[in-house]
Amino acid sequence: MQFKGAFTALVTPFSNGQLDEEAYRKLIEWQIQSGINGVVPCGTTGESATMSHDEHKQVIRICVDQVKGRVPVLAGAGSNNTAEAVELTRFAKEAGADGALLITPYYNKPTQEGLYQHFKRIAEEVSMPFILYNVPGRTSVNLLPPTVARLNKDIPDVVGIKEATGDLNQVSQVLEFCGPDFQVLSGDDFTVLPLLSVGGCGVISVVSNILPDKMSALCSAWFAADLPKAREMHYLLASFSRMMFIETNPIPVKTALSLMGRINLEMRLPLTAMSPANAETLRGFLADKKLI
């Protein structure tokens, strides 16, 4: 399975504290109809940290059912508890996901050897394509290029990584050590085009929740060797990327989707509504861009 192009790190719509299945299905359908190349349920943007295991599984199950094989589903299945990550990965496979997105264990701060053994244990228990997820800003641990290369060499199921360091030198080293077939996806909406330029294959995006067509167009232009178009999309999306991170993700993107009429505005504590000033800034921005 190749994970290439623009993948959306889907938000999880809630209503009165429960998953809003109807809004979720409609969001997924709109993404596919808008040309997105793949979807990621139960990532950071999907507020996986506040979901019960039953909810987590329900979200993956619904996503796979709604997609019906039209685009790849890369299911978030990681945890800082290795046994729990095994359980969630096993469910993702049984539910029919095309791959599992496995974040580095957060809070524990494992060594590089601990990170290696964590992913090795998951692979020993479940066989399916794995995309590692390196986001030191969330986890306080950095999965270094030599460790990525070791995992890629020793574990055939480790086919790629979502790199959210924003560090192009690190991305370049990963590709240097792992080779051009290793699938490196940007986890940083600001650096999609630069990452593609050093050999990356796409992005797992927050911004594509509201602009699936534009993020997909950026990637498509790059793969069609249309650099002027790719650069145009890069700069068009730059202001949206800044706006989607004026507060902690996914607060701005869920607020934007609610203003666009696609979901209810509901997050789970400890996430809260945007400050009034930032909410007004976002509303004005979306109105100016003719999204509302």
Catalytic residue among 24, 57, 116, 162: 162
Q: What is the pLDDT of residue 37?
A: 98
Side by side, which strands form the sheet with 202-205?
Answer: 38-40, 5-9, 202-205, 183-186, 158-163, 130-134, 99-103, 74-76
In the chain, which residue ranges form alpha helices assigned H by DSSP?
21-33, 53-67, 82-95, 112-125, 136-139, 145-154, 168-178, 192-197, 212-223, 227-243, 251-259, 276-288
What pLDDT, on the 0 to 100 scale, is given for residue 65?
A: 98
Q: Which residues of 96-126 are buried (b: 16+ CB within 10 A; e: fewer)?
A: bbbbbbbbbbbeeebeeeebbebbbebbeeb
Nearest to 212, CA basis, from 27, 25, 35 = 35
pTM above 0.85, yes or no: yes
- Examine the residue annotation and report whether 162 is marked as an active-site residue of this protein: yes
Which of these, 169, 165, 223, lies nearest to 193 by C-alpha position?
Answer: 223
- Give the per-residue pLDDT at 1: 77
Nearest to 67 by CA among 98, 107, 104: 98
Are 212 and 237 in contact by the 8 Å Cβ rule? The answer is: no
**Parallel, antiparallel, or unpaired: how do β-strands 14-15 and 18-19 relate?**
antiparallel
Cα end-to-end distance, the chain, whole Å: 37
- Among all chains, which residue has been given the structure tokens 């394509």? 129
- The parts of the chain modelled with pLDDT lower than 50 are none
Give residue 136's pLDDT: 94
- For residue 68, give both structure tokens: 């019906």
In the set 24, 57, 133, 254, the catalytic residue is 133
Would residue 93 show up in a list of annotated catalytic residues for this protein?
A: no
State the DSSP string of 175-190: HHHH-TTSEEEES-GG
